[in-house]
Amino acid sequence: MTTILRKHHFDLPDGVIYLDGNSLGPLPRSAAERAAHTITQEWGLELIKAWNSAGWMDLPARIGDRVAALIKAQPGSVTMGDTLSIKVYQALDAALKLRPNRKVILSDSGNFPTDLYMAQGLIDTLAKGHVLRTPPPDDVQDAINDDVAVVMLTQVDYRTGRLHDMAAITARAHAAGAVMIWDLAHSAGAVPLDIAGCAPEFAVGCTYKFLNGGPGAPAFIHIRPDIAPLVNPALAGWMGHEAPFAMDPDYRPAPSTERMRVGTPPVVQLSILDAALDVWDGVTMADIRAASIALSDLFIAKVEAGCPALRLASPRDGAQRGSQVSFHFAHGYAAIQALIDRGVIGDFRAPDIMRFGITPLYLDEDDISAAADHICDVIQTEIWRDPKYQTRARVT
Amino acid sequence: MTTILRKHHFDLPDGVIYLDGNSLGPLPRSAAERAAHTITQEWGLELIKAWNSAGWMDLPARIGDRVAALIKAQPGSVTMGDTLSIKVYQALDAALKLRPNRKVILSDSGNFPTDLYMAQGLIDTLAKGHVLRTPPPDDVQDAINDDVAVVMLTQVDYRTGRLHDMAAITARAHAAGAVMIWDLAHSAGAVPLDIAGCAPEFAVGCTYKFLNGGPGAPAFIHIRPDIAPLVNPALAGWMGHEAPFAMDPDYRPAPSTERMRVGTPPVVQLSILDAALDVWDGVTMADIRAASIALSDLFIAKVEAGCPALRLASPRDGAQRGSQVSFHFAHGYAAIQALIDRGVIGDFRAPDIMRFGITPLYLDEDDISAAADHICDVIQTEIWRDPKYQTRARVT
């Protein structure tokens, strides 16, 4: 397999095999340094002047271009800020305005809950008779018809890692006259993408998973450049104004995707993310993908060989899978806790999913083999039956 | 005057007199340390576990209680996150839903533009015939009538520092059956407040000004506790769900103000803010207010004595003024640049406002006197005519 390993860029603690980079990526060394610089040198010494002198105001666009390169979107089509939930709301609202005579938001039953909640909140707020349809993921293509205003899907299923066919679904949505929104939460930095080629109207995502931007790192939103001038933002914030410091009493949106900026940008978290993206310099997504599939296949083979009690929840075919491997196990919560106790960090998703992120930036075959051995040992010895592993933490 | 000075808590650069804490508060020493701890120890070593072990998930509520204490709101009534623009949208949307038969959003012509833009964006999105009225600030009380669904005002005018009478306007709004929203952007940490006593339905604010939370620090929102269960959030994010990790397909709001949480909290910026709030331990807002008025009166007296070309834009009566002093001057932009060159940092707001924040946490009478002397010198010598001070930066 291609070697990608960039573990030296990260501050992973000794004795830890980190299989949860699909939830929260680990700390890149450069990010800690950059945060200290932004805080003590820029904020501390430049004070208010740093908005100009340190380029704070341009961070959303500049980092947006770095994310655009990773998802193969057009330069200038991505901006950063807020949270993924907010970006979903912005995209959905804009999509419905682009299709005023249609009433259906089509998603799928496997979508991450907050995407569905944001749709529900928008529907309630508009009170114009929109409906949210959530067929099973496999049925979603056939559910795209002329009633559908917008198709909103997360490419990689957060539980199983199942991958939607982005090109085919986008083409189908467009053939039916629907707007397409892709949520790339588990895609950006995990699988090769071609947003400019697929040409969905909107793509959104977060940066604290495979992009290692840190807890609560800002989200991103892409608007297809031809659509941007047509978007009428619900969240019409001053930073999305054509001239924020003109203090105009009337909102006039910025010409590009920048109109999706809302309030004052989170400068410290943006700076951390900016540094975290340095890890990707010189890495190709094709190499990452090849390594991810090879490591995942190895992981599946070893776990299945050593613990038949676990049933694969992810697609067996690497081409159908994001960069994670999940197993069903009735005692999955306790088993994950026992593994964390040994330094093998995965996570649990209700009702019975043991989930492991496979991230070639800082995991190699030795890590994967060792992790699989620990999993099999924990399952075979039933050490997860220890009462200390049964108590649920608030966040799982 | 009462001495408040806590300059030793801040990392102010040598030679700087910082009169822009009403735009971006300076770096508290403890904030730099806390950021490093959160990044290297919590994120770096605890990784995903830090959501529980480091209490990340509870930061919005825990810090919300600290802000609640500063604005005299009920414990549990404030939560943190997003930006002030987003919080304005949430409050406005919730207010309109509470008054479905009324169509008027009443603000004033002096409100900060993003508040007006968010109202415009919401009105366009709802498309139900709502209107935004913006009479001059002095006329706003008389404009409150039975058509008004919601009164949304910023207590302290960002240009002049003029202070609205919060108690009187809130009472008038309630007498007319309107919902009241106060934007406390220039109030929190600047003037004594009594949110629980005034009892507006909503209060929102930012934390990067007088609360020194850093660039892009998260915003806050207060809901009056009796109203919280009635609020139906437009931005129905998973973190505002009653049980975020149940992965319920349907949104059910959390019982309290927590329903105004949206997406994953910005942990690093929240941690910085948490540390920044330590500066307030042992400080009373009454003492801050007394010192602010005394320093502001001194500043006005010295500037007016030394440079008659500047015309006071702020109320002369300290009781009618927030914690800033502004002057009209046709060449204000250039004069502010010349002052910054000397280390006296204020800012400019179009069309002709020279604005100076008066912050007793880190400014004393010597600072204020020295700043006034510099201002008078810059104006009298007309050094601001130097061409280098005429070019506008992007952010002013």
- Phi, psi at A360, each rounded to 5°: -65, -10
What pairing do the DSSP bridges indicate for beta strands B104-106 and A311-312?
unpaired
Is A10 an annotated catalytic residue?
no
Domain ranges of chain B: 7-28+284-389, 55-280
Residue A304 pLDDT > 60: yes
Any bridge partners for residue B132, and if so which?
Answer: B105
Question: Any chain B CB within 8 A of the CB of A44?
Answer: yes
Q: What percent of chain B has pLDDT over 70?
A: 98
Q: What percent of chain B has pLDDT over 90?
A: 94
Q: Which of A168-172, B86-90, B280-284 has the lowest mean pLDDT?
A: B280-284
Mean pLDDT, residues A123-142: 97
- Phi, psi at A156, each rounded to 5°: -105, 120
What is d(CA B319, CA B334) in angstroms, rounded to the nearest whole number? 30
Flag whether the ipTM exceeds 0.90.
Answer: yes
Residue B285 pLDDT > 70: yes
Any bridge partners for residue B219, and if so which?
Answer: B81
Mean pLDDT, residues A295-312: 97
Q: Is B249 helix (H, G, I), strand (E, B) or coil?
A: coil
Pick the CATH number of A7-28+284-389 from 1.10.287.3510, 3.90.1150.10, 3.40.50.150, 3.30.450.40: 3.90.1150.10
- Which residue does chain A place closest to B270, by CA atoms? A216
Considering chain A, what is the average pLDDT of its residues?
A: 96
Give the DSSP H/E element, type plus range, for residue B97. Answer: helix B84-98
pLDDT tens-place string over residues A2-32: 567 788 999 899 999 999 999 999 999 999 9
A248 vs B35: CB contact, 8 Å cut-off? no
Question: Any chain A CB within 8 A of the CB of B141?
Answer: no
Provide the token pair at B81: 């996150």
Contacts 24+ apart (CB under 8 A), B134-138: B134/A249, B134/B107, B134/B108, B134/B109, B135/B106, B135/B108, B135/B109, B136/B108, B136/B109, B136/B110, B137/B108, B137/B109, B137/B110, B137/B162, B137/B164
Q: SS3 letters for A277-322? A: HHHHCCCCHHHHHHHHHHHHHHHHHHHHHHCCCCEECCCCCHHHEC
Residue with tokens 């933490």: A393
pLDDT, position A300: 98
Mean pLDDT, residues A255-259: 96
What is d(CA A107, CA A118) in angstroms, rounded to the nearest whole number? 12
Could you tell me if A184 and A204 are in contact, meaning their C-beta atoms sit under 8 angstroms apart? yes
B118 vs A20: CB contact, 8 Å cut-off? no
DSSP code of residue A7? G
pLDDT, position A6: 87
A 286-315 residues with CB below 8 A of B? none
pLDDT, position B3: 60
Which distant-in-sequence residues (6+ apart) come within 8 Å of A308 by Cβ? none
pLDDT, position A394: 59
What is d(CA B291, CA B192) in angstroms, rounded to the nearest whole number? 12
pLDDT, position B394: 59
Question: Any chain B CB within 8 A of the CB of A63?
Answer: no
pLDDT, position B180: 98
For testing contact with chain A, the best of B22, B45, B85 (most A CBs within 10 A): B85
Pick the CATH number of B55-280 from 3.30.70.100, 3.90.25.10, 3.40.640.10, 3.30.565.10: 3.40.640.10
Residue B2 pLDDT > 60: no
CA distances from A14 to A18, A344, B44 (A): 11, 11, 11
Is A209 an annotated catalytic residue?
yes
What is d(CA B112, CA B70) in angstroms, rounded to the nearest whole number? 22
Mean pLDDT, residues A218-235: 98
What is d(CA B132, CA B143) in angstroms, rounded to the nearest whole number? 12
What pairing do the DSSP bridges indicate for beta strands B104-106 and B148-154?
parallel
Mean pLDDT, residues A243-248: 90
Catalytic positions of B: 112, 183, 208-209, 355
Alpha-carbon dihedral sign for residues B16, B289, B23, A33 = positive
